Amino acid sequence: MSVNTPSIHFFEGIPEELSNVSLRRSKTSGARSVVMTFNSLRAIEKFNSFRKKFSNSMQLTDQEGVISVEPSGVQFIFSGPEGDDLERVECKFEIEQEDHWQRFMRFMHRYAEANGMGYSESKNN
């Protein structure tokens, strides 16, 4: 994988595929939060996580370098007849500083372009 290709990692050496991202801003405090959704995690599917170095954070990598994010919450959502099929994983974190937000948005634009994702406004205004 090229350094110029944007990627997301929970475990070193295992790139994950982002399924959706939701950007939110509190009307009262103005705080920004991000919820990234992954419909699957390659680290879990390949059972490689125990052999790879866990970074205690999520790594967002592109040509500008690495953004290291410590999630404030990670939620595993299961479904299926037995309730043991991983449906998706939601990873939430907040970004308080404007320059960090701008850097994150540059990463997201690159990631979206490289992975055929699009941007749309929420209809819940």
Tell me what pLDDT residue 121 has: 67
72-95 tens-digit pLDDT: 888 888 898 888 888 888 999 999
Percentages of the chain per state (helix, strand, coil), in multiples of 5: 15, 40, 40
User: pTM of this prediction?
Assistant: 0.71
What CATH fold (topology level) applies to the domain 7-114? Elongation Factor Tu (Ef-tu); domain 3 (2.40.30)
Tell me what pLDDT residue 123 has: 65
37-50 tens-digit pLDDT: 999 888 776 654 44
How far is 68 from 11, CA to CA, in rounded Å?
12
**Statement: residue 1 has pLDDT above 70:** no
Nearest Cα neighbor of 92 from 109, 114, 77, 113 is: 77
Instruction: Name, in order, each residue with C-beta under 8 angstroms of 91's C-beta and a sequence gap of 6 or more.
Output: 35, 36, 37, 38, 58, 71, 73, 74, 75
Tell me what pLDDT residue 43 has: 77
Instruction: Name, in order, each residue with C-beta under 8 angstroms of 108's C-beta and a sequence gap of 6 or more.
Output: 21
- DSSP-assigned states of every residue in 39-51: S--HHHHTT-TTT
